[in-house]
Amino acid sequence: MNPTWSRFNITSIVLGFAFLYLPIVLLVVFSFNESKLVTVWGGFSTKWYVALFHNQGLMDATWVTARVAVISATVATVLGTLAALTLTRYTRFKGRMLFSGMVFAPLVMPEVITGLSLLLLFVAVGLDRGFLTVTLAHITLTMCFVAVVVQSRLVTFDRSLEEAAMDLGAPPVKTFFQITLPVIMPAIVSGWMLAFTLSLDDLVIASFTSGPGATTLPMKIYSQVRLGVTPEINAACTILIAVVAVGVIIASLANKRREVQRQRDEQAAQRG
């Protein structure tokens, strides 16, 4: 036990985590409320979940959101990985400053600006707003997050592995696919998951760039929230939270197992 792990440290962590989790826990608890009044407990019930599955508008929105998220996360992962390679491997080329600026700026750019500017682009090139435009917008936003995640793995990557493969005659492309890619794979997977959840989550950019027939789940939830808090939305939110939480936990457990395996392999290699 670390002697510096004082009572003060423990208290601040406990309070901090209570602050982070209590609102979410309350939201989940009240999704099982019998009463229509969200903040008065009227007994346990799952009727809001049943109502949810009969809400066609909400189900349609969920389907649209899931498709947008899968497609945009996949394309964003490819583009983001390329961007990360560019940032770490090609340190000198014309316009590198501009490039790194374009990768980092979207991370902090207020969403209203990104959303408005993308919408005006789509209007300028005459692209009808809908499924395609939301997907393109989400790719642009999320590829930057993927780039940062993958880049942080690439900077600690041992390049002598690649050099060894190339000395043995493997062409660069083959080296990339057989050596580099498997090593940075965990970062790419977590990049994909981050992109997926960001896309699942986004309200502002989707509101600007989406059109009729491509209403996403956050847009639907938002329009209902404005009318008031209902247990049905609590139920929808609970399902979303559960899906993401299960995904993240599985991914991190898999990651941990891979890490343990890798360490074992490395030790074995050093001994052998």
Partner 1 sequence: MSNAAVTAAATSQATDAGKSALARLSAAFIGRLVIIIPYLWLVFFFLIPFIIVFKISLSQTAIAIPPYTPVLDFGDGLSGFLAQLKQLSIDNYTWLTQDALYFNAYVTSVIVAAISTVLTLLVGYPIAYGMARAPATLRPTLLMLVILPFWTSFLIRVYAWIGILKPEGLLNQLLLATGVISQPLIVLNTYTAIFIGIVYSYLPFMVLPLYSSLEKMDYSLIEAAKDLGCPPTSAFWKITFPLSVPGVIAGCLLVFIPAVGEFVIPDLLGGSQTLMIGKTLWNEFFANRDWPVSSAVAVILLLLLIVPIMLFQRAQARAQEQDK
Q: Restricting to residues 21-60, which ones interact with partner 1 according to CB under 8 A?
A: 21, 23-24, 26-27, 30, 38-39
Task: By CB under 8 A, tell whether 188 contacts partner 1.
Answer: no
77-94 burial, b at 16+ Cβ within 10 Å, e below that, comes to bebbbebbbbbbeeeeee
Count of residues that bind partner 1 according to CB under 8 A = 95
What is the rounded distance in angstroms from the CA atom of residue 36 to the CA atom of residue 177?
A: 55
Q: How far is the CB of 198 from partner 1 (least distance, A)?
A: 9
Query: Cβ distance 247 to 36 under 8 Å?
Result: no
Task: By CB under 8 A, tell whether 245 contacts partner 1.
Answer: yes
- The smaller minimum CB distance to partner 1, of residues 102 and 185, is found at 102
Task: By CB under 8 A, tell whether 131 contacts partner 1.
Answer: no
- The smaller minimum CB distance to partner 1, of residues 125 and 268, is found at 125
What is the rounded distance in angstroms from the CA atom of residue 178 to the CA atom of residue 174?
A: 6
At 44, give phi and psi (nearest 5°).
Answer: -80, 140
Q: How far is the CB of 266 from partner 1 (least distance, A)?
A: 19
Q: How far is the CB of 47 from partner 1 (least distance, A)?
A: 18
The Cα angle at residue 33 between residues 27 and 39, in degrees rounded to 5: 60
Give the residue, chosen from 4, 56, 160, 270, that forms a contact with partner 1 under the rule CB under 8 A.
4
3-state secondary structure of 7: helix
Subset of residues 209 to 238 that bind partner 1, contact rule: CB under 8 A: 218, 221-222, 225-226, 229, 233, 237
Task: By CB under 8 A, tell whether 168 contacts partner 1.
Answer: yes
Cβ neighbours around 37 below 10 Å, total: 13
Give the residue, chosen from 17, 53, 63, 177, that forms a contact with partner 1 under the rule CB under 8 A.
17
Q: How far is the CB of 6 from partner 1 (least distance, A)?
A: 8
The residue type at 2: N
Subset of residues 101 to 130 that bind partner 1, contact rule: CB under 8 A: 101-113, 116-118, 120-121, 123-124
- The smaller minimum CB distance to partner 1, of residues 6 and 46, is found at 6
Handedness of CA 186, 67, 230, 53 (dihedral sign): negative
Task: By CB under 8 A, tell whether 19 contacts partner 1.
Answer: yes
Kindly tell me the number of DSSP H helices and DSSP E strands found in the chain. Answer: 12, 0
Query: Cβ distance 150 to 184 under 8 Å?
Result: yes
Q: How far is the CB of 72 from partner 1 (least distance, A)?
A: 12
Tokens of 2: 């670390």
